[in-house]
A and B are shown apart, each in its own frame.
Chain A
């Protein structure tokens, strides 16, 4: 413990060097910017900047900048989710549900502030956990094999059906549809292309970003075309910027729980920020005294998931730095960044490059403070976005979505996909079918299918492998209980019961 403390001070002494502070600051600003711009995510940005770090004479500075882009983007990602119902990056999909409702009620300020504050608490908390117990958690990360991934994916799918405010039947319908679309692309286990119709851009699956921006962002723009005048009502009542006492009380617990959940899920390679925010949202809804508020602007539904995705972003550094295992696409690019600087991430990094290891971790403390200072005043600025007349805002979002989509893979097919997803988003919205469960299932489908079949290969075709391993058995058990409860209460309530629409529009 004392040793860790000493190391952190050593790291801090490196992180506060003027040039490193500058790198962190630049990274934070850039990260916030790309987080705010839908479509452009940290992956693209870090990848674009990666070649520049070839020339950097200072490896620590280069890595600090790349890392701060990542967690900066996590802060920025919630902004457009709340203001425009366009997820700034994938992990903020959940924030669209209640964040956007809050904005419509004139509570955009508190929503944005709580997202920034939650992100700060979660980010800092995770870095503390990372510095003290990170290496101990590294073993936990690799103990996750196919049976555990399968159990987690099934659990996630069941939870997805219950997010939002619609009926469970509608939730499950969207989950099933999401699974189908999530399975498009090359099958890992047999190497066969599924449902790609020979389109090269679909061989790796439907790209998440155009899909999300279409379903949520474009869908919303199209929906607003017929709701003339509604948005202008909203612009007149931008009230407070900071949460009031009641909102604080509702969010405090959510931030704490979201941070812990996010930290744990972030450790698992491939688990990542999205599952963290999904879990947090469900937990908050179940624990809340007023679950009916969820889907209609519950601040805990913003605070929890936003904390979770930030905590997950920080904890995904644990497998990267201690095992050399990049758990998601962003850490994979960071991994390459370290290699370019002649630093081999992995078990020996702590011994061979303690300056980089502790320098990066310490810079995360500094970066989180910077981001809070940067983001809170920005809330006032972002809220002004709502004063922009609708006839300007709509085309502007449209253009950013189009350019953002194209910039990801320089692919025309993705732009077409964006438009189709937009149309689908509008029709689903009119039919009171929620796109949230669809997006979750879309992400989890492949994990579920691949890991089930990998597990069967490992267990010589015997499905018992999934229930005979303690961790996966536990998750499967909990899932079964949730399913039985949901089905039971659905039929008990009677199908005739009128459910509220997912949005109170």
Chain B
């Protein structure tokens, strides 16, 4: 069972199947037909129906150089999601600096000093381009 999850394509197929089931149920609820013709749920439902047999074909395809998941990208994905979740509360400045310092030290294996210098430099560049030159209103500080 767990051996099967070592193949990324199996994991992807399971995720896609889960997404497809969710879409399938939602399109069922939307309705397949209206008085005027096809309803909003028809096309997505048909798409879902086609998706399953194709997933089956894909899982059976074999490659010479099958890849395996590695830990660091998966950890990075979690870090990015945590970052995105904190943004609305803390503003851009603090989470972004923290993200870049964490990224350079944990994933790029650099020392903390480099991480801090890089994050300061990048955030400053971003501020100049987006906020100063292009006038994008960006909440930099936490909203109290």
User: CB atoms of A and B under 8 A apart anywhere in the complex?
Assistant: yes
Binding site for B on A (CB under 8 A): 37, 40, 44-45, 48, 167, 169-170, 172-173, 176-177, 179-180, 183, 187, 189-190, 192, 194-195, 218, 222-223, 225-226, 390-392, 394-396, 398-400, 402-404, 406-407, 410, 412, 415-416, 418-420, 422-423, 426-428, 430-433, 448-449, 452-453, 456-457, 461, 495, 498-499, 501
Nearest CB of B to A289, in Å = 26
Pick the contact of A453 from B8, B27, B38, B125 — CB < 8 Å? Answer: B38
Residues of B with C-beta under 8 A to A225: 70, 72-73, 76, 107
User: Does B142 belong to the interface (CB within 8 Å)?
Assistant: no
Q: A194-B27, A399-B100, A416-B85 are in contact. List 15 more A-B contacts (CB 8 A).
A: A37-B129, A44-B134, A169-B61, A173-B51, A195-B23, A225-B107, A226-B70, A395-B100, A399-B125, A406-B92, A407-B138, A420-B81, A428-B12, A431-B12, A433-B58
Residues of A with C-beta under 8 A to B67: 430, 432
Contact B63 A498 (CB under 8 A): yes
Binding site for A on B (CB under 8 A): 7-9, 11-13, 15-16, 19-20, 23, 26-27, 30, 34, 36-41, 43-44, 47-48, 50-51, 54-55, 57-58, 60-65, 67, 69-70, 72-73, 76-77, 80-81, 83-85, 87-88, 92, 96, 99-100, 103-104, 107-110, 114, 118-119, 122-123, 125-126, 129-130, 134-138
A195 to B26, CA, bound (A): 7
Contact A419 B126 (CB under 8 A): no
A426 to B72, CA, bound (A): 12
Contact A499 B61 (CB under 8 A): yes
Residues of A with C-beta under 8 A to B119: 395
Contact A391 B84 (CB under 8 A): no
Residues of B with C-beta under 8 A to A218: 80
Pick the contact of B40 from A194, A410, A423, A457 — CB < 8 Å? Answer: A194
Residue of A whose beta carbon sits closest to that of B51:
A176
Given A403-B126, A430-B69; A419-B54 close (CB under 8 Å): no
A428 to B40, CA, bound (A): 28
Residue of B whose beta carbon sits closest to that of A408:
B136
Pick the contact of A423 from B81, B100, B107 — CB < 8 Å? Answer: B81
Residues of B with C-beta under 8 A to A419: 77, 80-81, 83-84
A465 to B136, CA, bound (A): 47
A390 to B77, CA, bound (A): 18
Residues of A with C-beta under 8 A to B123: 399
A179 to B80, CA, bound (A): 26
Contact A418 B134 (CB under 8 A): no
Pick the contact of B47 from A180, A412, A423 — CB < 8 Å? Answer: A180
A226 to B136, CA, bound (A): 34
Secondary structure dominating the interface of B: helix
Contact A407 B136 (CB under 8 A): yes
Contact B47 A223 (CB under 8 A): no
Contact A495 B60 (CB under 8 A): yes
Nearest CB of B to A143, in Å = 23
Residue of B whose beta carbon sits closest to that of A405:
B84
Residues of B with C-beta under 8 A to A179: 43-44, 47
Contact B54 A176 (CB under 8 A): yes
Given A48-B134, A412-B88; A183-B44 close (CB under 8 Å): yes
Contact B135 A48 (CB under 8 A): yes
Contact A180 B110 (CB under 8 A): no
9 pairs of A and B residues whose beta carbons are closest in the complex: A391-B108, A430-B8, A431-B12, A423-B77, A407-B136, A431-B9, A226-B70, A222-B73, A431-B8
Nearest CB of B to A461, in Å = 6
Nearest CB of B to A162, in Å = 14
A180 to B87, CA, bound (A): 28
Residues of A with C-beta under 8 A to B61: 167, 169-170, 495, 498-499
Given A398-B103, A407-B134; A190-B81 close (CB under 8 Å): no
Contact B54 A422 (CB under 8 A): no
Given A179-B47, A222-B76, A399-B100; A452-B38 close (CB under 8 Å): yes
Pick the contact of B43 from A37, A449, A498 — CB < 8 Å? Answer: A449
A412 to B90, CA, bound (A): 12
Nearest CB of A to B85, in Å = 7
A121 to B7, CA, bound (A): 46
- In this complex, the member of A226, A418, A420, A448 whose beta carbon has the largest number of chain B beta carbons within 10 angstroms is A226
A448 to B34, CA, bound (A): 18
A392 to B117, CA, bound (A): 11
Residue of A whose beta carbon sits closest to that of B8:
A430
A390 to B57, CA, bound (A): 37
- In this complex, the member of B38, B39, B134 whose beta carbon has the largest number of chain A beta carbons within 10 angstroms is B134
Contact B77 A426 (CB under 8 A): yes
A498 to B62, CA, bound (A): 6
Contact B38 A176 (CB under 8 A): no
Given A194-B30, A395-B119, A407-B136; A400-B126 close (CB under 8 Å): yes
Nearest CB of A to B31, in Å = 9
Contact B57 A180 (CB under 8 A): no
Given A419-B80, A495-B61; A180-B54 close (CB under 8 Å): no
Nearest CB of B to A206, in Å = 13
Contact A177 B51 (CB under 8 A): yes
- In this complex, the member of A44, A407, A448, A501 whose beta carbon has the largest number of chain B beta carbons within 10 angstroms is A407
Contact A187 B15 (CB under 8 A): no
Residue of A whose beta carbon sits closest to that of B66:
A432
Contact A410 B136 (CB under 8 A): yes
20 CB-based A-B contacts, threshold 8 Å: A173-B16, A179-B44, A180-B19, A189-B40, A190-B34, A222-B73, A391-B108, A391-B109, A391-B110, A394-B107, A395-B122, A396-B122, A398-B103, A410-B136, A412-B84, A428-B12, A431-B7, A432-B67, A433-B58, A498-B63
